[in-house]
């Protein structure tokens, strides 16, 4: 068995669940669009998924 490995790294603002929630709230959607223009903001929070074992298994 191999050790811990990074499987996926997704910027938080691109997660489908978050995008669909923001689309329902005009104020939240506008704020995310404005803040998204800041160079640091899109990469501020990331969703990381790790796995154990061989690379082809999840």
Q: What is the pLDDT of residues 36-54, one digit of tens each?
A: 788 887 777 888 889 987 6
Query: Phi/psi at 17 (nearest 5 deg)?
Result: -65, -45
Strand, helix or coil for residue 40: coil
Q: Which residue has the higher pLDDT, 3 or 16?
A: 3
The band of 5, judged by pLDDT with boundaries at 50, 70 and 90, is very high
Average pLDDT, the chain: 79
The band of 11, judged by pLDDT with boundaries at 50, 70 and 90, is confident
Dihedral (Cα; 23, 38, 6, 49), 10-degree rounding: -30
Q: What is the pLDDT of residue 56?
A: 57
Whether 45 contacts 10, CB under 8 Å: no
């Amino acid at each position: 068995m191999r050790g811990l490995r990074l499987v996926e790294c997704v910027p938080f603002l691109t997660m489908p669940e978050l995008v669909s929630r923001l689309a329902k709230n005009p104020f939240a959607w506008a704020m995310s669009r404005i803040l998204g223009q800041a160079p640091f903001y899109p990469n501020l929070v990331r969703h990381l998924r790790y796995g154990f074992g061989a690379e082809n298994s999840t």
